[in-house]
Structure formats: structure tokens, C-alpha cells
Chain A
Amino acid sequence: MRSAPDYLPDFSHIYIEEGAEKYPLTQDILQRFPDAVQVTISDYKTAFNRSGQDFIQQKKSMKLILAVKKPPFIYESTDILQDAGFDNFVYTTPLLNCLYNCQYCFLQGMYPSANLVAFVNEDDFFNEVRNAISHRENRDQPLVLSISYNTDLLAFENIIPFCKHWIEFAANQPNVLIEIRTKSALFNALKNIDPNRNVLLSWTLSPKVVVEKYEWDTPPLAKRLKAVRQALARGWNVRLCFDPVMIIPEWQKVYSRFLDDVFSALPADQIYDTVVGVFRMNKDFFQRARKREPRIDIYYKDYELKDGVLSIAKDKRAEVKAVISEKLDQYLEKKKIDIWNS
């Protein structure tokens, strides 16, 4: 966890890709950080893809890179993601990397840098999404777009109001459902925005012992639950994500009690749906993440490898499904429970 008094604060430096400076979002951000050292670069990859970077050290003092995204803007879903039964499931990446430091996250091994890249050409993203909506395969379903896949956008909202901009975009778009997944407690950043049926706010919730052990720098469970209550009270669609379910000592009891606590704090009948998953990671990301921080016990458990993805054994996955489903069944209709079991 970050505790580094000798280190510069996050965003002490902002790298600006040539061409990005003319975007209004760039100017907004620079005004929010008047004391930041500005460094101009020709391409964001000059900073982001440098060899010899130390992801773990950079997490102690993250920098911001402002850039103009080039195509593609939209990516097809993979087996690792949960599409919750939707056919037209895709994702986009307005922001690369995350403020948080969850030890089980694929971001620990995916990028060469822990610095954040914010793409400032939002209109280009929106135009591509409009295009994707009109060309979606299953016309009977909306385009389901995850915008917070490689990041936690809501956690970043007070720095760059990406969520606000995407919500405003979604409000005028038929046939789209935008998912904003988060561990943030920062609902206040959205409290003055009207709820929008084209937007799904998804909160990842974990037992306290899992939050403390693995979800470094994230808000505690109690604060996330409060944010969920606030969102529900305002009328938002809210999904609950229990992902990943971590196989810790007495995990069955821990998660059973945890789910009871969640549904005593939240009105189950107002929940849009839930998704459940287990630890899984691309094998290359896993090896890189382990090399970066070998002291995390996650990297020494027994996993199965299938199609390039490491996950817990099939029989264990089945057990998770059985235990969690049984508990969720007490609170929710079956159609509101989606379990990743690839």
C-alpha cells in the first residue's frame, strides 16, 4: 500500500502529447494541476512504453499522460469479461490504468507503466460508439459498452469528469447501455446528474478481509455500500459485482456472512443484477505481475491454464458457483445472477 512520504504526490508531472494541448479537456486538466511540471512528448508511448520502468515504484507517485487516441476506439469483449448474457458487449478505454492497486488485477501485469493515460479526444470516442450502435450484430439488444474496464473511471471523476461526459452522451443515445464499473465511494461526483436508464453503475464489493488484503488504496466496504445506497436512492441502475471471489481461509463462511451484510445494507429488489467471478488472469500478465511484485500470495496458488488464461481449478469454480448462487438465491431472482464460469 502507498505510504511514501519522500515521494512526489500523484500527478506532480503531466506529460502532454503533441496535438493534445488543443483539446478543451487538456486545458481543464492543466488548470486543475497548476503546479504540475509539464513535459511535452511526441507520442504518449514515449513515456508509457519506456523500457526499464518499475510499475511498483511508479504506483507511489503516478504521473498523468494526456494523449489523443488513434483507432481503434472500441474493442471486442473477451472470454475473461462478463457479458451478463448480452450479445453486443464491447469495451472502450478513455483512461489507461487505475488509481487503485488491487493485487489480483490484470493491470498489475498488462501495461509497462503504472502511469495513467487519459485520452482527451472524447468526441472521437463518441462518434465511434454511435457507429458501433448502428452496426451492432443483435439488433434486438442494445450495444453494451464497458467504459471502465482498464481503469476505475469513477475514482478519477474529480480529476477528469469522464463519467459525467459519458453519462451525458448516453442520455441521447438509444440502443446503448454503458457500464461504469467501480470500487469508488465517490458517488457525490454524480449526485447532481439525472439518472439515466442507458447507464449501469456497477460496484465491485468484497468482504472486509479481502479489501484489506488485496484491494490496496480502495475505499472500505462500508463506504462503497453507502455510495451504492446513494445511487439507488437517486434512481440509478446498479449492478453488484462480486468479482473476484477470493479463495481465502474459510471463504465459504466469509462470503456467506458478507452477502448477508450486503443485502441487509441494500434493498435487493432495487438491484439491476449481479455478476460473480473468480480470480482469472492472462498467463503473460500473471507472469509479469508476479515478477514485479513476487511477495503476493496470489501468485503461488494452484491454477489451471486454459486458452492462455490462468484461473482456479474447475471443481473450485463449481464450488464457488454453488456457494455464492445459493446465498444470492435468498435475495435475488435467478435471472439477476450471472456467474463467470469459462
Chain B
Amino acid sequence: MNHILITTALQAEAQPLIEHYQLEKKQCSANIFYFQRGVITCLTTGVGEKNVRKRLGAFLNETVCRNTILMNMGIAGGNQDATEIGKLYLINKITDEKNGKVWLPDALLKTGLPEMPLSSVSKGVTDGGNQYAGLVDMEGAAIFETAVQFIPVHCLVFLKIVSDHMDEILDSPEQVVSLINKQLPEIDGLISLMQNSGLVRTPLLNDQHEHLLNGLKKSLKLTATQTYQLKDKAEGFIAVQDDDIAFLSQYLKVEIKTKQERTKVFHEICTRLSA
């Protein structure tokens, strides 16, 4: 099952999810608090680009992202003619208003959601925002730009609930919680879809394989080239033979005293993996 990392800007956006999934408060070494249970994690980044880069960047640096799908979820202002208040949209294009950069999530799964472009701005918009064709927030672009360094684009999902038509400032947490709660069944369905989807592929070498190969590198005192070649051969063995490399663990106990010994053992391993 894939790991879902939900990011929100506001605590009020996260609260319904924390309660629904009974997430427990945790802390990572960068002094960042997050909520987690099983394969669902929720991280509140704070509002605005700076907060996102600092908190999300630090969090992703520490956590293993191999099977993670990031879901950015929150409220956004919407174009009055194109959007409905309370409705949930999937974002297909994010424009950073500050520098014009465009970020494009890869929509691969059937979500059934209507789609909209998103503009990320640095200040709240309350004049009606007619210049924006879709939705407006303050974090989307920074989240994408930070997260794509760790997570592939097809595993970055941006969901926004329209809270206003950019004609008022929504400053009531209760209103935010209410908007999220109304869409919770839909959000829950999407999370389930993503958890069980084939979006994240199982790597050829799993954690046990990597651990074994690292162990061999140390015990046999392999050079950098030999380490690379060993990994190459191991991948080939698993791919072609459809078999496991667990038998290599016997070599963890071999004592290597000379280069010649190392070469001999290494050659033996490669021969067995090439058979």
C-alpha cells in the first residue's frame, strides 16, 4: 500500500483529516511536528512560500520517499464564473505568480474530479481576482517546486476546495473545517484510490536487497567499481532469473585479507549471479 503524505497550509485544513484517520502527533529531528498513523501522514506547512520551503523541505529530507504520494489539500479562492464555493477541484497546472514558473502535475488516475489551474500568489486576493481564470492559493507552486526534488510528478496531487470568490478573507477556522468535512468522503475515496493504485512501482531491489549489498560492500571491502558491478549483476539476476539474491548472505562471513582474496571472491559471486 502506498504512503500518502497530506500537506496543508492551515491547521484547520488538517484537523478533519487528523480526526478522521486518528493520526497521532509525532516529531522528526528537524523539530517539525506532524501527524501519522500507518501509511497516512499529515504535515501542516504554514501559509506562504517561505514556510513551505523550510518545513516541507526539511521534512522530505528526513523521511524516505520511495513509495510516497504527496497530496496537497486545502482551501483556495476561485474565479466567480468558473468555480463553485465548497466544490473540490483537481489542479492540472500551477503558476507561480512571482516568477511566472509553471508546474504541471501528471494526472494519470481516474479521480472523477473537475480540474482547474491554480495561481500561487504572495498576498491574499480580495478584489474579486478576475485576472485569475481558476483558483488562487499561496503555497501550491512552492510545494510543487520543493516536493518534485524528492517525489516524481505523477505522485504529486493538488486538491483545492473553493472557500471564496476572492471577495473576502476567510479567517474562521470553523468555516475551513466545515468546508473540508463536507468533502471528506470524496477525499477519503481519493486517498484510497491512490493508496491502492499502481502509481508507485516496487523497486527491483528492495530494502533487504540493499541492506545485503551494503553488507557485502563492507565485509568484502569492495571498490567503488566493484560495488557498482555487484549491484548491476544483482539486478540482472533478479530481473532475468526472477530469483532472489539471499544466497549471497553466506559471503558476509568471508574474511578478506588481501586484494587477491577479494578479487577471487568477487569473481565467484559475479559468476554465480551471471549463471
Contact = CB atoms under 8 A, between A and B. Distances in A.
A53 interface: yes
Interface of B: 92-93, 102, 104, 106-110, 115, 117, 148-149, 151-154, 193, 197-199, 201, 204, 235-236, 239-240
A201 to B, nearest CB: 34
A51 B146 CA distance: 12
A223 B235 CA distance: 36
Given A6-B197, A54-B154, A294-B235, A41 B108 contact: no
Contacts of B108: 7-8, 57-58, 60-61
Contacts of A41: 93, 102, 104
B92 A295 contact: no
Interface stretch (A150-158, A186-194, A234-242, A296-304): A296-304
A117 to B, nearest CB: 14
B153 A52 contact: yes
Nearest to B104: A47
Contacts of B235: 294, 300
Contacts, number: 77
B156 to A, nearest CB: 8
Given A51-B148, A57-B108, A60-B108, 8 more contacts: A6-B109, A8-B109, A39-B117, A41-B104, A52-B149, A52-B152, A58-B154, A300-B236
A150 B117 CA distance: 31
A104 B70 CA distance: 33
- Interface size class of chain A, counting residues whose CB lies under 8 Å from the partner chain: 20 to 34
A263 to B, nearest CB: 33
B110 A53 contact: no
A53 B103 CA distance: 12
Interface string A30-63: 0000000101011000110011111011101101
Sort A-B residue pairs by CB-CB distance and give the 5 closest, nearest first: A300-B236, A52-B148, A52-B153, A61-B108, A294-B204
B26 to A, nearest CB: 27
A42 B101 CA distance: 10
A13 interface: yes
A269 B107 CA distance: 50
A58 B106 contact: yes
Tell me which of A56, A296, A299 has the highest count of chain B C-beta atoms within 10 A of its own C-beta. Answer: A299
A297 B110 CA distance: 32
